[in-house]
């Protein structure tokens, strides 16, 4: 058997560890990671031999492979990347990028003890929710505020608090699936509430709600349609009308508005999303939304509304299971403080900045990318700047196109799919849009400080 001879040439783990390479690795990396990497590479060699190959087996030859394995095994699996897709709130890519202020506040709070649940004035136990309450009230106009882990938790908690074993009236046009298996009927079931659907997919009238109120209804619920839009022959009941009805029948009205925009984007030419302030002003009793969609903060579920109702939620034992952690709280407080000066929020909160960035400024960034690509790899691909459209993403503003500039990249020899894969495989990975057999880099979701890195990554991907 020719195998046998080759197998006997495989160096032992111990031999490799005691070699000059091994000694060097042991200086820089944990022993466990080195062992795992050596074993992995040796296993690979055994497989190659079994497959009839004759790999070189001396330590000098296999050490580069072990180094690669060590690097891979000691790197983090969760890693930053460059989002060139033009989808601003990209759920798969971590939704909102935090502002510098939020990041600083996480670091500041994480590295030391804090008054998370301690009342410094009274010198005794306090509530983690109290830190954020004031700023949320001031910004939104709501009576009271509470923050949990995410909006899905917020909705579940509210339904469970106000409507367990009782009916919640919802329009059939709002029984949506957000993605990631968050579906209103199923959340309702999990909360213990009973779904009472009214109206039709395209039209729901005030009378439909009213007819459902004679029985056991505990809550009127309005849900943001998130990532889809009903168009054409449609009718929905406004928050104001629903509030009026709720008052008449003494039934609270809740709105899950999904994104929770706190800046009137109409000023920046982006219409179609009511602000949190408008919903509160309409008199809705309980409003829930995400912290990391249009708000541009950390993952969180924000609940605003009447003081009496918020206090009732605070007594629900489920709250403990959904509580926000201190790092998210630190990030959220810093982000909300930025909103006190709206112009500043628009400049400094990345999600808002990307949503409102003037086209001219996007064009400049695209121009910079274009020039650098032309200079470094212009001989390997056709490169041009084109007008295109970005998306808000995250189920926000689904029907709105954001005009943008992309750098279009069409390699002469290497297939587009190969380069797309290489970019994904890079350090850092670059995620792009592929359209009409070309790679698009959307300048809207690229940060100025990422441009140099992006160019290096493209250079490597086509090499
Ligand atoms: C996104 C969304 C949710 C879920 O929010 P998470 O913060 O992702 O948990 C719930 N409802 C609506 C309408 C949404 O758009």
Other C-beta atoms closer than 10 Å to the C-beta of 19 total 15
Q: How far apart are CA 10 and CA 6, in angstroms?
A: 7
Nearest to 170 by CA among 224, 116, 133: 224
Let me know: does 106 contact 333? Beta carbons within 8 Å: no
Distances (CA, A) of 292 to 125, 128, 283, 335, 382: 29, 19, 24, 11, 37
Task: Tell me which residue of 339, 271, 260, 323 sits closest to 293, measured CA to CA.
Answer: 260
- Residue 189 CA to ligand 1 center (angstroms) comes to 17
Pocket lined around ligand 1, Cβ cut-off 6 Å: 150-152, 155, 178, 182, 223-224, 226, 256, 258, 290, 301, 395
The span from the CA of 145 to the CA of 152, in Å, is 16
User: Which amino acid residue places its CA nearest to atom 2 of ligand 1?
Assistant: 258
| Candidate from 174, 177, 226, 260 with most ligand 1 atoms within 8 A of CB, to mutate | 226
Distance CA 98, CA 41 (A): 39
> Exposed, middle or buried, 349 (CB in 10 Å: 0-12/13-18/19+)?
buried
What integer pLDDT is reported at residue 396 of this predicted model? 83
Q: Pairing between strand 167-171 and 194-198?
A: parallel
| 131 three-class SS | helix
> Which portions of the chain are predicted below pLDDT 70?
1-2
| pLDDT for position 399 | 78
Residue 389: helix, strand or coil by DSSP?
strand
What is the reported pTM?
0.93
So what's the pLDDT on residue 308? 98
Residue 173, C-beta contacts closer than 8 angstroms, at least 6 positions apart: 199, 200, 201, 202, 203, 204, 225, 230, 234, 236
Residue 181: the pLDDT is 77
Question: From ligand 1's centre to the CA of 80, what distance in Å?
Answer: 23
340: tokens are 């006190």
pLDDT of residue 398: 81
Number of C-beta neighbours around residue 166 at 10 A: 16
Question: If you take atom 5 of ligand 1, which residue's CA is the nearest one?
Answer: 151
Q: Which residues lie below 8 Å from residue 185, measured CB to CB, with a gap of 6+?
A: 175, 195
Nearest atom in ligand 1 to 155's CA: 10
Strand order, beta sheet including 253-258: 144-148, 301-305, 286-290, 253-258, 217-223, 167-171, 194-198
Tell me the CB-side half-sphere exposure of residue 377, using CA atoms within 13 A.
Answer: 24
Residue whose C-alpha is closest to residue 83's, from 452, 424, 459, 419: 424
Q: Which phi and psi (to 5°) does residue 284 adopt? A: -60, 135
**Residue whose CA lies nearest to ligand 1 atom number 6:** 151
Q: Is 347 left (phi over 0), alpha (psi -120 to 50) or beta?
A: alpha
Q: Are 203 and 232 in contact (CB under 8 A)?
A: no
Q: How far apart are CA 19 and CA 56, in angstroms?
A: 17
Report the Cα–Cα distance between both ends of the chain, in Å, rounded: 41
Residue nearest to atom 7 of ligand 1 (CA): 151
Distance separating alpha carbons of residues 70 and 29, to the nearest angstrom: 8
181 Cα to the center of ligand 1, angstroms: 11
Give the gyration radius of the chain's Cα atoms. 28
**What top-level class would CATH report for the domain 82-91+356-462?**
alpha beta
In 3-state terms, what secondary structure has residue 87?
strand
Tell me how far apart the alpha carbons of residues 173 and 200 are, in angstroms, rounded to a whole number.
6
Q: Where are the domains of the chain?
A: 2-73, 82-91+356-462, 100-348
Is-contact 424 431, C-beta < 8 A? yes
Collect all residues with Cβ–Cβ distance below 8 Å to 4 and sequence separation of at least 6.
none
CATH code of the domain occupying 100-348: 3.40.640.10
Mutate to test the pocket of ligand 1, among 147, 149, 178, 295 (most ligand atoms within 8 A of CB): 178
Helix (H, G, I), strand (E, B), or coil: what is residue 195?
strand
C-alpha–C-alpha distance, residues 84 and 364, integer Å: 16
Q: What is the pLDDT of residue 394?
A: 84
Name every residue whose Cβ is closer than 8 Å to that of residue 182 and which is 6 or more positions away in sequence.
152
Question: Are the CB atoms for 454 and 84 separated by under 8 Å?
Answer: yes
Distance CA 242, CA 315 (A): 27
Collapsing DSSP to helix, strand or coil, 381 comes out as strand
Parallel, antiparallel or unpaired: strands 217-223 and 167-171: parallel
φ/ψ (deg, to 5) at 189: -60, -45
């Amino acid at each position: 058997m020719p195998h046998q001879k080759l197998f006997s040439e495989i160096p032992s783990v111990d031999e490799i560890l005691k070699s000059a390479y091994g000694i060097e690795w042991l200086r820089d990396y944990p022993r466990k990671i080195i062992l795992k990497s050596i074993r992995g590479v040796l296993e690979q060699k055994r497989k190659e031999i079994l497959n009839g190959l004759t790999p070189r087996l001396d330590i000098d030859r296999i050490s580069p492979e072990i180094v690669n394995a060590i690097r891979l095994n000691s790197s983090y699996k969760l890693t930053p990347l460059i989002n060139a897709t033009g989808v601003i709130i990209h759920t798969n890519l971590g939704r909102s990028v935090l502002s510098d202020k939020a990041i600083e506040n996480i670091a500041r709070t994480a590295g030391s003890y804090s008054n998370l649940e301690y009342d410094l004035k009274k010198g005794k136990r306090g509530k983690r929710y109290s830190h954020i309450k004031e700023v949320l009230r001031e910004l939104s106009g709501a009576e009271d505020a509470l923050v949990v882990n995410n909006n899905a938790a917020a909705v579940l908690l509210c339904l469970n608090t106000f409507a367990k074993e009782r009916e919640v009236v919802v329009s059939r046009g709002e029984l949506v699936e957000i993605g990631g298996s968050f579906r209103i009927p199923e959340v309702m079931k999990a909360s213990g509430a009973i779904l009472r659907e009214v109206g039709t997919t395209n039209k729901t009238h005030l009378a439909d709600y009213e007819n459902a109120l004679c029985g056991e209804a505990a809550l009127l619920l309005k849900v943001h349609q998130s990532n889809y839009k009903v168009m054409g022959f449609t009718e929905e009941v406004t928050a104001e009308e629903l509030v009026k009805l709720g008052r008449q029948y003494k039934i609270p009205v809740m709105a899950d508005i999904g994104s929770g925009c706190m800046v009137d984007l109409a000023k920046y030419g982006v219409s179609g999303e009511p602000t949190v302030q408008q919903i509160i002003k309409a008199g809705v009793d309980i409003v829930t939304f995400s912290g990391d969609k249009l708000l541009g903060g950390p993952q969180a579920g924000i609940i605003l509304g009447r003081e009496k109702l918020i206090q009732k939620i605070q007594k629900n034992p489920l709250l403990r299971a959904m509580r926000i952690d201190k790092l998210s709280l630190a990030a959220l407080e810093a982000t909300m403080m930025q909103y006190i000066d709206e112009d500043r929020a628009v400049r400094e909160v990345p999600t808002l900045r990307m949503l409102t960035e003037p086209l001219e400024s996007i064009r400049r960034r695209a121009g910079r990318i274009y020039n650098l690509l032309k200079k470094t790899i212009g001989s390997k691909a056709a490169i041009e700047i084109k007008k295109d459209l970005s998306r808000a993403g995250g189920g926000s503003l689904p029907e709105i196109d954001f005009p943008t500039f992309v750098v279009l990249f069409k390699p002469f020899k290497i297939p587009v799919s190969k380069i797309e894969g290489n970019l994904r495989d890079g350090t850092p990975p670059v995620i792009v849009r592929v359209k009409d057999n070309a790679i698009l880099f959307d300048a809207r979701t690229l940060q100025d400080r990422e441009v140099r890195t992006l160019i290096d990554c493209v250079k490597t991907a086509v090499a």
